[in-house]
Amino acid sequence: MIHFILVDTAIELVPKNLRKTPSFYRNHQKLGKAALLLDVALHHSTMNQLPDAQKRGRPDILHHFLLDCLGSPLNIHGNLQLHFQCPSGFFLIDSAMRCPRDYLRFKGLIAQLLELGHIPPKKPYLISQHKDSFNNWISSNFSSDRVFLLTEKGPSKSFNEIQELIGKFVKISQDVVFLIGGFQKGNFSTEIQRLSATPISWGNHTLNSWTVVNHMLVLSEIALDLI
């Protein structure tokens, strides 16, 4: 199994101090639960009050991640497990989930997830919070040589090398984990940097997370002879 984990994902509920603003009230009246999710597109005028604002308020990154991965041949053939880690916790995504295409509906669903810890309210859950913490789950289930952090600061590898790396683990039926940043700007958090993960990149420039995800999907699918 290949695990993709979106880490430091920029999703959270609007902090209570920002809910007192007139703009939040207007958005909430107009958009309902979707307005509860911090989004730079809605809250940019007040987000400068928040620490580390450049890494926050980007639910669209998770939306891209789910749409791209859940509809991929890698997932359809049962070779992909998806997770994401954010300030609210560490979550597991059911491979059978159909991610809403409508962005407002998606945001309302994620706001409900952050409130309840799972969606929908009753089982079977499409997204649910892991019982274990992120770091404990990684260290308990994977040796460090099977955990890779995709970062422009890592040693550069060619597409062929990454494809061969994936194929190596597939041949010996071992799970492998790829960690992908779920934020717009800045550095990985201390929690992520402290992981025993091998950094890798395919260049010394920053790429959008959905670009990284789609390249990794294709390389994995080639390695498994799915395309």
pLDDT tens per residue across span 19-64: 777 777 777 777 777 888 999 888 777 778 788 888 898 999 999 9
Whole-angstrom distance, CA of residue 123 vs CA of residue 60 = 26
The answer to pTM > 0.85 is: yes
Beta strands in 71-201 (DSSP E): 80-86, 89-93, 118-119, 127-129, 147-150, 176-181, 198-200
Judge if 205 and 123 occupy the same domain: yes
Judge if 128 and 39 occupy the same domain: no
Judge if 133 and 201 occupy the same domain: yes
Residue 23 sits at φ, ψ, to 5 deg, of -65, -40
Residue 71's pLDDT is what? Answer: 95
% of the chain beyond a pLDDT of 90: 59
CATH code of the domain covering residue 103: 3.40.1280.10
Residue 66's pLDDT is what? Answer: 97
Judge if 67 and 133 occupy the same domain: yes
| Domain, as residue range, for 152 | 2-10+57-223
Residue 138's pLDDT is what? Answer: 94
Mean pLDDT across 95-119: 95
Judge if 209 and 161 occupy the same domain: yes
More confident residue, 8 or 144: 8
Count of the separate structural domains present in the chain? 2
Judge if 48 and 134 occupy the same domain: no
Mean pLDDT across 81-108: 95
Judge if 113 and 154 occupy the same domain: yes
**pLDDT tens figures, 138-165:** 999 998 899 999 998 888 888 899 999 9
Judge if 156 and 210 occupy the same domain: yes
Judge if 40 and 67 occupy the same domain: no
Mean pLDDT across 196-220: 88
Residue 115's pLDDT is what? Answer: 93
Whole-angstrom distance, CA of residue 37 vs CA of residue 88 = 12
Judge if 85 and 23 occupy the same domain: no
- Taking CA atoms, 150 is separated from 181, 182, 199, 208, in Å, by 8, 11, 6, 12
CB of 7 within 8 A of CB of 82? no
Judge if 165 and 103 occupy the same domain: yes
Judge if 203 and 156 occupy the same domain: yes
Residue 99's pLDDT is what? Answer: 95
